[in-house]
Amino acid sequence: MHCFNLGIGGDLASSGLLAACRMGLFCDDVTDGKLRQSSLDAAYDKFDTWCSLNQKTSSVKSFELKKFHVKTMLVLASAHFLG
């Protein structure tokens, strides 16, 4: 469980969030599949609203590419499985 929480789980969560942002699920500011900070901001607003409605707290204060260890807007973090 420790490896999942700190390792692959974080990679999967960030990859899923970035993929959803690139697809424009949180805002319409996506062109040519490129990720924009406004899309991450909209995703965070929805996350923050969910936390408030469900009486949850989070130490996360914003979604930013640097927090997901992504260097450019064109890169999408991914987890690779061998099998």
Residues whose CB is less than 8 angstroms from the CB of residue 69 and which lie 6 or more positions away in sequence, other chains included:
14, 77
* pTM for this model (two decimals): 0.70
Higher per-residue pLDDT: 78 or 39 = 39
- What pLDDT is attached to residue 15? 82
Domain boundary assignment for the chain: 2-68
Say if residues 44 and 33 touch (Cβ distance below 8 Å): no
DSSP letter, residue 8: I
- Mapped onto helix, strand or coil, the DSSP state of residue 54 is coil
pLDDT in tens, 4-46: 556 677 778 888 888 888 888 887 766 665 677 888 899 999 9
Token look-up 């699920």 returns 25
In this prediction, residue 12 carries a pLDDT of 80
Q: What is the pLDDT of residue 83?
A: 41
